[in-house]
Homo-oligomer: A and B are copies of this chain.
Amino acid sequence: MQFEPFIRKLETVESLTDAEKRAAIALCNDVRVTPRRKDIISQGASPDRVHIILSGWAARYSIVRDGSRRITAFLLPGDFCDIHGTVLATMDHSILAITDCEVAHVPADLIEEITRSTPVLTRALWRSTLIDEAILRQWLVNAGRMDALKTVGHLLCEMHARMKLIGLVEDGRLDLPMTQEELGDATGLTSVHVNRTLRDLRQQGLLTLGRGELHIPDVPALAKACEFDPQYLHLRGRTSQGML
Whether the Cβ atoms of A60 and B137 lie closer than 8 Å is: yes
Determine how close the nearest CB of chain B comes to the CB of A118; give it in whole angstroms.
15
Determine how close the nearest CB of chain B comes to the CB of A37; give it in whole angstroms.
21
Alpha-carbon separation in the docked complex, A234 to B88 (Å) = 7
**Copies of this polypeptide in the complex:** 2
A132 close to B (CB within 8 Å): yes
Determine how close the nearest CB of chain B comes to the CB of A240; give it in whole angstroms.
12
Whether the Cβ atoms of A143 and B146 lie closer than 8 Å is: no
**Total contacting residues, chain A, CB less than 8 A:** 40
Alpha-carbon separation in the docked complex, A141 to B144 (Å) = 11
Interface residues of A in 75-104 (CB under 8 A from B): 83-84, 87-90, 92-93
Closest to A115 in B: B122
Alpha-carbon separation in the docked complex, A134 to B91 (Å) = 10
A187 close to B (CB within 8 Å): yes
Alpha-carbon separation in the docked complex, A92 to B133 (Å) = 11
22 contacts between A and B (CB under 8 A): A60-B137, A62-B137, A64-B146, A64-B227, A65-B227, A69-B145, A70-B140, A70-B145, A83-B130, A84-B130, A87-B123, A87-B126, A87-B130, A88-B130, A92-B137, A92-B234, A93-B137, A129-B130, A136-B137, A139-B140, A140-B188, A143-B144
